[in-house]
Amino acid sequence: ARNSDIMHAMGITGRAVDRFEKANRRHLDCQTKTSDVGGTLSGLSKVLRMMLQSAILGLGAYLTIRGELSSGSIIASSIVTARALAPVDLAIGQWKGVVGARRSHQRLNETLAVLNDKSGYVELPAPHESLTVDNITTVAPTSGAVLLSEVSFTLKAGQAVGLIGPSGGGKTTLARSILGIWPVLRGSVRVDGADLSQWNEAFFGEHVGYLPQDVALMEGTIAENISRFAEVPDARKIIRAAKAADIHELVVHLRDGYQTELGPHGTALSAGQRQRIGLARALYGDPFLVVLDEPNSNLDAEGEEALTRAIAKVRERGGIVVIVAHRPSALSAVDMVGLVQNGRLAAFGPKDEIIQPTAKRPLVVGKTPPAAGRDRIVNAA
């Protein structure tokens, strides 16, 4: 349903439906086999119960004929046997639910074990000084493959770094590691000298702005999305963030303005509008650390100018900006540049010292020049 436009336009609908039907048939086959096994066990239990009751009645009749048992004892024995075996039938019939409840309980225990209870931690002051990435190594949460290896750099308040490099080099992984979305295997990410694990997650999130590659807007109004669904949203902060992302004029010209319902995934707006609302959400509350992953991928020239102004304003008020970029226009407002390649930080330093000098230096084919990392930055740009 989310990709219906693409499927319809490129004729994928039939194949997509066939793919679903195959998966559904496999599911139905498995469900049928499960029902057969459950039905067989239930039937066997009933047969065994009837055989046992019949054997008890026969034995009771034999003992009664021999005068060793009264007739009332036969009836009592039959009733007691039926009551004793009834829980077995019930357990077999409800065994699927028992297994499901056991698995759910196990998943809940695993989830709660991962969550960090920081209620007893000392609340640190709002960050305002620095961001330090200290020799971090990050692996993929699912496969365990190493995506980043031994990355280190430091940013002070008022600085902005542009991370560039080939696709799949590790730029997005580095951005996620900085925010603690993906935990680092070795090393540490420190804000104002404190490791991310020392910060209260909710408090730290108030001082962080993040714009991912795929802008995920939740179902609600524009104002709710920009304010991050705050219980008591601040109208001034919402409008200031919208103006910083240069989307205020667009919003007020909508029929319901900031109360416009976006629908699931923000489908009521274009990709560029969603990205700019996501940028406004990242800038809401003047966060200290702003991480933008390809923030201009869907922006026009006007939107890129607004992005440049927004980055400059974050730097002016003493914030830190980390930008993952493929288009060089996103680097106009940064003062530092880092090249992430093959999971390593191949080059890092002031933009003027890295990019401009290498633009005049010819590349040597067949061997690696002294400033190979810097030349790659020019090529990537």
Q: At 361, which CATH number?
A: 3.40.50.300
Domain end position, chosen among 90, 114, 138: 114
pLDDT of residue 11: 76
Query: Are 284 and 345 contained in the same domain?
Result: yes
Answer positive or negative: Cα dihedral of 208, 211, 217, 220. Answer: positive
Query: Are 151 and 268 contained in the same domain?
Result: yes
pLDDT of residue 117: 58
- Token duo for residue 275: 């990205």
Query: Are 360 and 231 contained in the same domain?
Result: yes
Q: How many domains does the chain have?
A: 2
Q: Does residue 120 form part of some domain?
A: no
Query: Are 99 and 154 contained in the same domain?
Result: no
**What residue type is 16 in one-letter code?**
A
Strands in the chain per DSSP E: 130-139, 146-156, 160-164, 186-191, 194-195, 208-211, 289-293, 320-324, 336-341, 344-350
Query: Are 98 and 144 contained in the same domain?
Result: no
Which domain range does residue 76 map to?
Answer: 4-114
**What residue type is 70 in one-letter code?**
S
Query: Are 179 and 311 contained in the same domain?
Result: yes
Domain end position, chosen among 84, 114, 144: 114
**CA pair distance 43, 41, nearest whole angstrom:** 5
Residue 346: closest CA among 371, 364, 363, 367: 371
Query: Are 152 and 37 contained in the same domain?
Result: no
Query: Are 226 and 327 contained in the same domain?
Result: yes
pLDDT of residue 192: 95
Query: Are 137 and 109 contained in the same domain?
Result: no
Query: Are 15 and 134 contained in the same domain?
Result: no
Spans of the chain below 50 pLDDT: 358-381
Under 8 Å between Cβ of 322 and 290: yes
pLDDT of residue 362: 42
pLDDT of residue 172: 92
Query: Are 58 and 21 contained in the same domain?
Result: yes
- Token duo for residue 118: 């920081």
pLDDT of residue 94: 79
Query: Are 198 and 100 contained in the same domain?
Result: no
Q: Does residue 207 form part of some domain?
A: yes
Q: Is the pTM of this model over 0.85?
A: no
